[in-house]
Amino acid sequence: MKAASPAARRGMVLLELIVALTIFACVAFGLVLALDAGMTAATERNQVDAAVRGLQNQLALIHATRIDALDQDLPVGPDGLQYHLNIQPEQLQDQNKQPLTGIYRVTIQVRWKDGSRAEERSVTQLFYQP
């Protein structure tokens, strides 16, 4: 068996190093892409979570106040979420076909911008106020 010359061995080591660096660069690039996608998903999830918490807070505020029919935009909060409140009397009847008073359908919508996309969530609830 013939041994490889030192110059040929040095060339082979250089080729192995280039292949190893190429593989490392591809793996590192894939990890950076995965990390970026994870951060984007986490940011979107945090925005939706803030919007849902805001909707819950708005419902709690409505529970604590006197309800009257209205349709209005609420002030924009410091987080940039725009809320819209719609309260309408609900026309319901009991078993005897008598109208039930003091029942309102409350709908709260929240809108925000996610980059260039407009996002929206809403919640609807019936409230009884004697």
* pLDDT exceeds cutoff 90 at 37: yes
pLDDT tens for 4-31 read 666 667 678 889 999 999 999 999 999 9
The pLDDT assigned to 75 comes to: 87
The reported pTM is 0.70
Strands (E), 1-130: 70-73, 82-89, 92-93, 99-100, 103-114, 117-128
Q: How confident is the model at residue 94 (pLDDT cuts 50, 70, 90)?
A: confident
